[in-house]
Each structure stands twice: as C-alpha cells, then as structure tokens.
Amino acid sequence: MLHFDTDDTAELTFASSHATILEALRQRIPTITPQIWQSSTHVFMRFSSPLNALIGEEVLEDFSLLDWLQDISVQDVSGQDAAAAHKIYWRNRMETYETAGYGIAHIIQGSSTNISSLLRLVHDATAEATPNIRYYGGTRFYAPSKADAVWQNFPDAAFVLPFLECDSAEDVVFLHCTVAMPLGSSLEAAYSKAEQKLRALEQSRNNAIKPDFTPYFNAIPYKSRTNVPSKVQWERSIDAALKEFSRERLEKVVLARRATVECTENIDSITLLRERLRKAPRATAFLLQFGTDSAFFGTTPELLYQREGRTISTEAIAGTRRRSTNDREDEAIADELLNSDKDRREHASVQRFIASALDELTESFTIGTVDILKLSNVQHLYAVFTGKLRATSDDAHILEHLHPTPAVGGTPRRKAVEFLQKHEGFDRGWYAAPVGWVNAHGAEFVVAIRSALITGNTAHLFSGAGIVAGSEAEKEWQEIEIKIAPLLELFQG
C-alpha cells in the first residue's frame, strides 16, 4: 500500500533502500534454493526472498510497491533487450493482493484472434508450478481492420511472467527473480543468468535519472484536449444506433469516446496511477507497459471473471449515477437508479448474456440479487454470479463466451461489435478488453475501463455509455464526462 512521509531522513532511508535491493538479492541468490518447474519447452527457476531480509524490517514499514517499480525503472535502455522496459502492476479490488513486476522472464504473445492457443500455452507453462506463479497481460478489445498508431507498442495479445516481481499478500512482502531456461539447463546456469541480468539492471539503474518521490500530487498542465468522436460525430452515431434498435437489429450498443490531452512534458504513468489509487476504493488497479514510451493503466470496477480451480465468479454491472457527499441524497440517487426502467433494462440485458454464457460453461450457477455498487464518484447496478465449471471449460472458453459483455459491447454481441467498428470512429486497442493474470490453477480478468493510455507527453482517456432505445445523445455524452472525470482530474488545462 502507499505510504508518504515528509521527514527528510525517512525519505533518504527509503530511497537508499531501493538502491540496495538489487545488490542484496544478487548476492543472496547463490544461497537460495529455487522453486523449479517445467513446461513442454522450458525449465523455470524462481529465486525468492522475504523483502525484510533484503532491506530490514524498519524500512519495510514504509515500502511501496509502486515506488519500487518507479525507482527501478531504467530510463535509458539503449543496448539492452526490449524486456528491460516492461512493467506490470496489479492490485485487486479487495486490496488483499498487490504485485509489481519488471522485465520479462517469459512472454507468450500473438494474435488476438488466437487467444485460445496463447492461454493454453500459459496453462502448459504453469501446470507444474505453484498457484502464486502468474502470467500478467491481456488482449485487444477486437482485431480492427486497421490498428491505430497510438497502440503501436502494444501486441495484439500478450501474457508475461516478470523477471522481477515484488508481491504483497496478507502483509507479507516477497521479492522474486525468475528465469526461463532451455530444457536440461543446470542450476548453475540459472544462477549465472539471474546474476548477470541483475548486475546489468543495477548498472543501468545507477546511470538513470532517479524519480522524485514527492508526497504531494499536482495536476499535470495540458495545452490541448480533443475528443474522438467529436460531439457532432457522436450524435450521428447515436442516431445510427437508434435506427438499428427500431429495425430490431440491435438491442443495445456501448459507444465509447477517447479524450486526448497533450501536455508540455512527458507523463509518468506510475505517478498518475498512484494518485488514482488514493481515490479508487473497491476498484482493481492495473498497469501494463510494453516498451519505453507506452503504458496502459486503470482503476476498473468491473470484474470479467475470477476462477479458483473449477469455481467461477462473475458480475453484471450496468447503469451509472453520480455519488453525493450527502448520505441522504446519495441514497436517493441509488433508489432512483434501482427504479429506472431504462437502466434496469440495460442491466437485465447484461444478466441475460452472462446467464446464457454460464449455461454453456458451467454445470450449475447461481445469481445474486440486484444491488448498488458504490464507487468513489459513481454508482452502478450490480449482481453476482457463481458457478461450477464443466471439465471442458478452460480460460480460453470462458473469455470466448464472456468477452465482450453487453456492458462494454452490446447485444447481440456480434452485431454490436460490427456496429462499433463501423461507427465508433477509433480503435479501442486494449481499452475495455480483458486484462489480468492467469495460470493453470486460477485466473482473474477485469474489463479495462476507467483507463488511460500514456504515450510520451500525451494521455488518451477512455470511457463509454450504454445506448438503448430511448437514449439521448446529450445525456449519454454527459454520462461519459462523469465517468471520465476522475482521470481528467489528473490534468489541468
């Protein structure tokens, strides 16, 4: 979790602890008995140490995984492999698990149209591993006819086992160093590879510009903002959707918008995510960075699904209202949402979709009552599904049946996606797509909404609104403004 201390001595101790972690781990590796497992193509060795053994219990009290990830980041990776710039961060909604990863031990990537094969490779790579070995990543929302240049550093689909991973669960923090070796490799070769990569990272870090761990956040000035689609184009898209509803070709479609703000200097995505975490209770936080110039992060309320062995849980979320600081008014807003015909129809559409998918995926499932999910600045209609998966239902099948949900795509699903590709006006990339972690033993995927893509000095902020019969263009435009407001608050025009 995040800790800020304005005492200068404490800050110096904290920063210096980061400088010693890599060296301490490198020196300790020959004494660590690694966790070893195999896939059909690699042997994996993970060297793990409690963090207090590397930096001391006193310093650990003020340790932040995001600060560590920001500090370890190499700003000049010339002469290094591309893996040096890869970062991941994950904190689940209940704040019971948090992890930060740097570099790549092993990556499985390919076309988003072949996600089934990629996930089966992840299962193969983790079948013999313990459940805490996780691959992190995701996939595009859909495969567009022409990909947008803003997503050029992101593969269509990728899942990464980090080289370095610092995780926290039940208040215990571990640092892991993982290497993937050819089958038949010796333990000595793994020691050598791990030490060599750590030493190179130490040297690069020592030559890099160190981040400023300021305890205060100031909104980042920006010089321009543009919207895609524009308001005129948005109105045309809404009109086109309403015509499809009247012809009974569509029941619902979720139209999104990309708001782009251009700043005067490069933007640090970790700084922005750190600020969002302070204001985003009951949200899953994620960050994925491929290369040095593009990072995708968000604090999403929407779980796509969670799997523990053969047990699956998922949620139906739809309908949006603002929050109020006045408790009585806040409850009145919630009651209005619960009794809104338009929003209940939208939510029912999501429920029917999930129930139909779980009919195919599970032996049996249950549906919870419709309630209100209250977040920091908005509230939604919400219902929980739990079920027992069929023996033939793996993560590939689950994603195939659940993504995209009507909450981010529409119904019927195929026709809604076709409508989006024709009328939305931009490539969603990884926005509203499944991102998360997965292994042979479990998985957790969220829907990547309330999200932003950072490319150099530019931030692309995404949000969408569910369009059904009776929707009005101006109201739906304003709904997106409400949803996107927490991200816009990070910037100042």
Q: Catalytic residue positions?
A: 252, 302
Helix H, strand E, coil C: the string for the chain is: CCCCCCCHHHHHHHHHHHHHHHHHHHHHHHHCCCEEEECCCEEEEEEEEECHHHHCHHHHCCCCHHHHHHHHCCCCCCCCCHHHHCEEEEECCCCCEEEEEECCCEEEEECHHHHHHHHHHHHHHHCCCCCCCCEEEEECCCCCCCCCHHHCCCCCEEEEECCEEEEEECCEEEEEEEEEEECCCCHHHHHHHHHHHHHHHHHHHHHCCCCCCCCCCCCEEEEEEEEECCHHHHHHHHHHHHHHHHCCCCCEEEEEEEEEEEECCCCCHHHHHHHHHHCCCCCEEEEEECCCCEEEEEEECCEEEEEECCEEEEEEEEEEEECCCCHHHHHHHHHHHHCCHHHHHHHHHHHHHHHHHHHHHEEEEEECCCEEEECCCEEEEEEEEEEEECCCCCHHHHHHHHCCCCCCCEECHHHHHHHHHHHCCCCCCCCCCEEEEECCCEEEEEECCCEEEEECCEEEEEEEEEECCCCCHHHHHHHHHHHHHHHHCCEEC
Nearest to 238 by CA among 252, 226, 248, 225: 252
Nearest to 80 by CA among 294, 288, 296, 292: 292
Q: Could you tell me how far CA 251 lies from the centroid of its own chain?
A: 29
